[in-house]
């Protein structure tokens, strides 16, 4: 994201408009796009946490004589992350 006049030199630790009302206004589109991406990604990750244990349990019973499927996965509830 390129915001005009936000940085003048390579040694700035933050954009010049960080403490102004223009910070959000200059980045509204980019911020909203990122929030939408996070929302969609969160839904996909939640779906993976629901589907993966089912697939893993089904595949666990199928093992070969040469390769072990002795992986241990720890699942946490997505709801516990919201607190």
pLDDT digits (tens, 9 = 90+) for 17-75: 888 888 999 999 999 999 998 888 888 887 887 887 777 777 776 655 555 555 555 55
Residue given tokens 């940085």 in the structure block: 7
- Residue numbers of the domain that contains 55: 22-82
Q: What's the CA gap between 31 and 3, in Å, rounded?
A: 13
Go through 40-73 and write b for each residue having 16 or more CB atoms within 10 A of its CB, e for each that does not.
Answer: eeeeeeeeeeeeeeeeeeeeeeeeeeeeeeeeee
Q: Are 75 and 53 in contact (CB under 8 A)?
A: yes
pTM of the predicted protein model: 0.49
Please count the structural domains in the chain.
Answer: 1
Any domain includes 9: no
């Amino acid at each position: 994201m390129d915001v005009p006049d936000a940085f003048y030199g390579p040694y700035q630790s933050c954009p010049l408009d960080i403490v102004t009302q223009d910070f959000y206004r200059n980045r509204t589109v980019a911020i909203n796009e990122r929030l939408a991406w996070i929302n969609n990604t969160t839904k996909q990750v939640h779906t993976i946490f629901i589907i993966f244990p089912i697939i893993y349990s089904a595949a666990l019973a199928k093992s070969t004589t040469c390769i072990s499927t002795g992986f241990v996965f720890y699942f946490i509830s997505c709801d516990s992350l919201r607190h």
